[in-house]
Amino acid sequence: MVGGSAALGNEDLLQHILSRLPALSFASAACVNKSWNKVCNQILSKPKLASALSLSPSLHVAVSEVLDKVLSEPIRPHFAIASVGMQSKLAATHQLITARLGSRTPVITNAVTGIIGLDAHLDEICEVKWTLLEDNLLNDFDHCYGIVLIVGYVPGLKVETIPLLRSKEEPEFSMVDKFLMDIRHYSASISGCSSPNGIILFGDQNIDIKPILAEMDYGLPEETVIVGDATSCFLFKTGENSQNYNGALYFFDAVALVFSRDSDNSNVPEIQFDITMSTGVLPFGPELKAVSVKEHNADCSLLTARMEGYDGLLHGEEILEDIKEHIDDKYPYLYIGVIHQRGSLQFGSRSYMSLYEVLGAEDQFFIVNGVGIKPGDSFIFYHSDSDTASSSSIDVLDGLRLLNASSCCGTIGRNVTNANKEVFGGLIFSCFSRSVPLSEDDDGDDDEDDNDVYFESYPFCRNFPETPLAGIFCYGEIGRGRGLTRLINQEEEDCSISGRCLLHHYSTVYLVMSYTIPPLLH
């Protein structure tokens, strides 16, 4: 008994020491012998995310700060996402991060207009936006630097980057069918199922992501959660995927970070992705139909429209003037929500809605950003609304509060379970143009130290203050999947014409990552 107690005490002491090691030293310790490896596996028995943000104007200092922070504790990097300011050197940043994380870690590095994360020095959440002027030039040139890095350890899942290719020999079309096939084949090779658990997608800022999202929505099952940024500038590195993507032969129109269940590692916590969304747009006016449509300047469309029951064409300039007179927001963003159909004889049809920003009007024509609208398509006007954005942010706050409460008492939804569910990380994709205030009166608490806050991260941080979080500001928020609240469908429910919407505007998409410990592991 004495010997057994001593051995147990030594193992506890060893676990205490190893749990304090930085990631690199921890990885070396796991290779010492079987006993140490067993203890290291016990330390990293649950999923883990680590994130950090730096605003240093020095690239090397900023990258070192965030890497040192996320690797200061034991973690085995299964994936990494780094988001940097537009003035940062994307290629140099990507090279520094991939060199530090090793050849087997899939990495995506992208340039964005704003970042959200925990400051590496202050240990408090920061949200930073860099204002864009015309021609994508940034104002305040000397203050457009920064990086947020998130590194994830997700036992029970395999993670890989898969790009959407476009041949340089035939650059007219993206290779969407191959993209979906690559995703299905990767997932099937890992889990035996062609449906991945989740996808974090980054689309190139120079392509129209809407038809690609439509194909993904149609080709991937409902249970696959999809989030991301539609207007990114990115570099990527694959992990263990042996396939070589030659940049001399292809353009990369998008890249997907694919999460698939590992069938060889089943006795681990079950990881779940959920999304919730704070929307900020409202439908306006009756349903209309496109009459004539023609492309304008390659990436825009000119269209005329009429109202059901009327033969005459609407006058675009007059309609926009009427809309602006009835909207309370001083500088609203206008969109049209167009219903498209996608289907086949084998799988049936599905309608989906795409939001096109309205850039203006010229006589009878509406000028919208994007192509793909056809004569006969139904649409309805939407406009940004700050009150709606604020109200739906409060709904997200309440929804996450319910999730937090269910985690604490061991319930999931309405079902009581012996499993223990815990949120271990979050990602945010927020529209750059939003500015949503929340105050102490909004959050439902009476804490005297509450102050007015204007952070998109507030709903998550308020409910999970110690949970790692990272996010970006963008101009097209992608969101599809299981919703913690019904907000994910609010745009469609408010609309008089039905259709799914994957690409959102003036909204904030929250990806909540949690795990459930199987009863055998308790």
Cα distances (angstroms) measured from residue 247 to each of 124, 165, 441: 39, 10, 53
Please count the residues of the chain.
Answer: 522
CATH number at residue 357: 2.40.10
For residue 416, what pLDDT is reported? Answer: 38
For residue 24, what pLDDT is reported? Answer: 87
Q: Is residue 273 domain-shared with residue 362, that is, in the same domain?
A: no
Enter the tokens of residue 250: 């292809």
Q: What is the Cα–Cα distance from 394 to 392, expressed in whole angstroms?
A: 5
Q: Is residue 268 domain-shared with residue 297, that is, in the same domain?
A: no
For residues 481-492, give the mean pLDDT.
Answer: 49
Q: pLDDT tens-digit profile of 286-340?
A: 999 999 999 888 789 999 999 988 888 999 999 998 888 888 777 789 999 998 8
Asked whether the predicted pLDDT for residue 137 surpasses 80, the reply is no
* 371 belongs to a structural domain: yes
DSSP state at residue 453: B
* 109 belongs to a structural domain: yes
Q: Is residue 477 domain-shared with residue 380, that is, in the same domain?
A: no
Asked whether the predicted pLDDT for residue 428 surpasses 90, the reply is yes
For residue 340, what pLDDT is reported? Answer: 84
Q: Is residue 145 domain-shared with residue 243, that is, in the same domain?
A: yes
Which residue, among 257, 100, 62, has the nearest Cα to 163 in the 3D structure? 257
For residue 344, what pLDDT is reported? Answer: 58
Residue whose entry in the numeric block shows the structure tokens 């024509």? 365
Who wins on pLDDT, 23 or 52? 52
Cα angle value 9/13/15 (rounded, 5°): 115
Q: What is the Cα–Cα distance from 81 to 79, expressed in whole angstroms?
A: 7
Q: What is the Cα–Cα distance from 241 to 248, expressed in whole angstroms?
A: 19
* 274 belongs to a structural domain: yes
What is the helix, strand, coil percentage profile of the chain, to 5? 25, 40, 35
* C-alpha count within 13 angstroms, C-beta hemisphere, residue 54: 21
Radius of gyration for the alpha carbons in the chain, expressed in angstroms and rounded: 24
Q: Is residue 290 domain-shared with residue 242, that is, in the same domain?
A: no
Residues 6+ apart with CB under 8 A from 296: 302, 367
Which residue, among 494, 458, 220, has the nearest Cα to 381 in the 3D structure? 494
* 493 belongs to a structural domain: no
For residue 343, what pLDDT is reported? Answer: 65
Pairing state between β 334-344 and 348-362: antiparallel
Residues 6+ apart with CB under 8 A from 451: 440
Q: Is residue 59 domain-shared with residue 208, that is, in the same domain?
A: yes
Q: Is residue 56 domain-shared with residue 150, that is, in the same domain?
A: yes
* 132 belongs to a structural domain: yes
Q: Is residue 89 domain-shared with residue 64, that is, in the same domain?
A: yes
Angle in degrees, 0-180, between the axes of helices 34-43 and 2-18, rounded to the nearest 10:
60
What percentage of the chain has pLDDT greater than the value 90?
52
* C-alpha count within 13 angstroms, C-beta hemisphere, residue 159: 25
177: three-class secondary structure by DSSP: helix
Which residue, among 110, 203, 105, 195, has the nearest Cα to 159 in the 3D structure? 105
For residue 470, what pLDDT is reported? Answer: 97
Q: pLDDT tens-digit profile of 245-267?
A: 888 899 999 999 999 998 887 77
For residue 346, what pLDDT is reported? Answer: 55
* 96 belongs to a structural domain: yes
Who wins on pLDDT, 492 or 408? 408
Who wins on pLDDT, 77 or 446? 77
Cα angle value 127/130/136 (rounded, 5°): 150
Who wins on pLDDT, 5 or 458? 458
Q: pLDDT tens-digit profile of 166-195?
A: 999 888 888 999 999 999 999 999 988 888
- Using pLDDT thresholds of 50, 70 and 90, give the confidence band for residue 450: very low
Q: Is residue 53 domain-shared with residue 169, that is, in the same domain?
A: yes
Q: What is the Cα–Cα distance from 102 to 212, expressed in whole angstroms?
A: 31
Q: Is residue 196 domain-shared with residue 80, that is, in the same domain?
A: yes
Q: What is the Cα–Cα distance from 364 to 306, expressed in whole angstroms?
A: 10
Listing DSSP states for 371-424 in one string gives S---TT-EEEEEEE-HHHHHHHHHHHHHHHHHHHHHHHHTEETTEE-SSEEEEE
Who wins on pLDDT, 9 or 312? 312
Asked whether the predicted pLDDT for residue 73 surpasses 60, the reply is yes
User: Which region among 68-77, 210-219, 221-230, 475-484 has the lowest average model confidence (pLDDT)?
Assistant: 475-484
- Using pLDDT thresholds of 50, 70 and 90, give the confidence band for residue 96: very high
* 216 belongs to a structural domain: yes
Burial class for 277, CB neighbours closer than 10 Å (0-12, 13-18, 19+): buried
Total number of domains constituting the chain: 3
User: Which region among 10-24, 401-415, 465-479 has the lowest average model confidence (pLDDT)?
Assistant: 401-415
Asked whether the predicted pLDDT for residue 284 surpasses 90, the reply is no
Cα 310 to chain centroid distance, Å, stands at 42
Q: What is the Cα–Cα distance from 332 to 128, expressed in whole angstroms?
A: 22
Look up the domain containing 232 and give its range: 45-280+392-410+418-435+455-487+501-521
Q: What is the Cα–Cα distance from 63 to 189, expressed in whole angstroms?
A: 34
Cα distances (angstroms) measured from residue 435 to each of 146, 231, 386, 476: 20, 20, 8, 16
For residue 45, what pLDDT is reported? Answer: 87
Cα distances (angstroms) measured from residue 19 to each of 16, 123, 413: 5, 20, 34
For residue 496, what pLDDT is reported? Answer: 41
With beta carbons less than 8 A apart as the criterion, state whether 266 and 156 touch. Answer: yes
Q: Is residue 274 domain-shared with residue 286, that is, in the same domain?
A: no
Enter the tokens of residue 449: 């130290």
Residue whose entry in the numeric block shows the structure tokens 């020999």? 169
For residue 437, what pLDDT is reported? Answer: 62
- Please report the beta strands in 55-156, taking only residues with DSSP state E, as ranges in sequence order: 79-85, 107-112, 114-118, 125-129, 147-153
Q: What is the Cα–Cα distance from 126 to 54, expressed in whole angstroms?
A: 9
For residue 499, what pLDDT is reported? Answer: 54
For residues 213-217, give the mean pLDDT.
Answer: 91
For residue 411, what pLDDT is reported? Answer: 44
Q: Which of 227-231, 403-407, 442-446 is predicted most confidently? A: 227-231
What values do phi and psi take at 449, rounded to 5?
Answer: -90, 5
For residues 183-211, give the mean pLDDT.
Answer: 92
Q: Is residue 64 domain-shared with residue 212, that is, in the same domain?
A: yes
* Terminal CA-CA length for the chain: 25
For residue 297, what pLDDT is reported? Answer: 81
Which residue, among 197, 319, 204, 219, has the nearest Cα to 270 in the 3D structure? 197
Q: What is the Cα–Cα distance from 477 to 504, expressed in whole angstroms?
A: 5
Asked whether the predicted pLDDT for residue 28 surpasses 50, the reply is yes
For residue 408, what pLDDT is reported? Answer: 63
**Paired strand residues for 158:** 260
For residue 436, what pLDDT is reported? Answer: 66
- SS3 string of 258-317? EEEECCCCCCCCEEEEEEEEECCEEEEEEEEEEEEEEEECCCEEEEEEEECCCCCCCCHH
For residue 485, what pLDDT is reported? Answer: 43
Q: What is the Cα–Cα distance from 254 to 235, expressed in whole angstroms?
A: 10
* 235 belongs to a structural domain: yes
Q: What is the pTM of this model?
A: 0.89
468: three-class secondary structure by DSSP: coil
For residues 470-492, give the mean pLDDT.
Answer: 71
Examine the fold and report which residue of 9, 29, 44 is the final residue of a domain before the chain moves on: 44
With beta carbons less than 8 A apart as the criterion, state whether 216 and 136 touch. Answer: no
